[in-house]
Amino acid sequence: MWSDTDTVAPPGFLDVMRQELMDGHTGLVTCPYVVRNVESGPMMLEALFANMEFYPGVLFCGRTSLVQFGLGAGMMFPAARFRERVKWESLGARLADDNALGRALAPMKVSRVTMETQASNRTGRMPSTIICAGRRRYAGVRRPVTRVWPS
């Protein structure tokens, strides 16, 4: 399981993704995401784009072979396939490791699972979740999903 640290996973997501991965034709399963908990006006723009254009587009294109990249919100793949096809040393130097993983571990599939993230401006900067996630990726730091859907 590979995930950005700012995503929240719904209950049972591991079981669903594991079943989708085990179909025998898939090398990587990736999860789309939506933005929740918008705290300011500027962050609403990010949420509008993600929820009204990006998310439906990924779902639509996921029905075809048009999505050929992983989405950092959540990716699952066999460890042996990762060791065989991906060079760990070069992955941390990439800004878009999710894109590189999707291409290296193809064929891929868009999961039925939808992750959530939030737009936040607590840092005082323009903290796009995409930019923040990119900084973590560039540093080569990855962490597992840290929270599970609030009960």
Helix (H) or strand (E) segment spanning residue 76? strand 75-76
pLDDT at 124 over 80: no
Judge contact between 142 and 73, C-beta under 8 A.
Answer: no
Q: Is residue 147 part of a domain?
A: no
Judge contact between 31 and 115, C-beta under 8 A.
Answer: yes
Find, among 55, 24, 31, 2, the residue nearest to 113 by Cα.
31
Q: How large a percentage of the chain has pLDDT more than 70?
A: 76
Mean pLDDT of the chain: 77
**Number of independent structural domains in the chain:** 1
Mean pLDDT on 21-30? 90
pLDDT band at 148 (very low <50, low <70, confident <90, very high): very low
Q: Is residue 124 part of a domain?
A: yes
Output the six-digit token pair for 5: 């640290």
pLDDT band at 129 (very low <50, low <70, confident <90, very high): very low
Q: Is residue 121 part of a domain?
A: yes
- What's the half-sphere exposure (Cβ side, CA atoms, 13 Å) at 42? 9
Instruction: Check residues 112 and 134 and name the one with the higher pLDDT.
Output: 112
66-105: per-residue pLDDT in tens?
A: 778 888 889 999 999 999 998 887 776 666 788 888 889 9
Output the six-digit token pair for 108: 């891929």
Q: How far apart are CA 26 and CA 41, in angstroms?
A: 40
Q: Is residue 5 part of a domain?
A: no
Q: Which domain covers residue 66, as residue numbers? A: 13-138
First to last CA, the chain: 22
Q: Is residue 6 part of a domain?
A: no
Q: Is residue 102 part of a domain?
A: yes
Residue 95 confidence (pLDDT): 66
Instruction: Check residues 4 and 105 and name the one with the higher pLDDT.
Output: 105
In this prediction the pTM is: 0.72
Q: Is residue 20 part of a domain?
A: yes
Q: Is residue 8 part of a domain?
A: no
Measured in degrees and rounded to the nearest 5, phi and psi for residue 148 equal -115, 150
Mean pLDDT on 39-61? 88
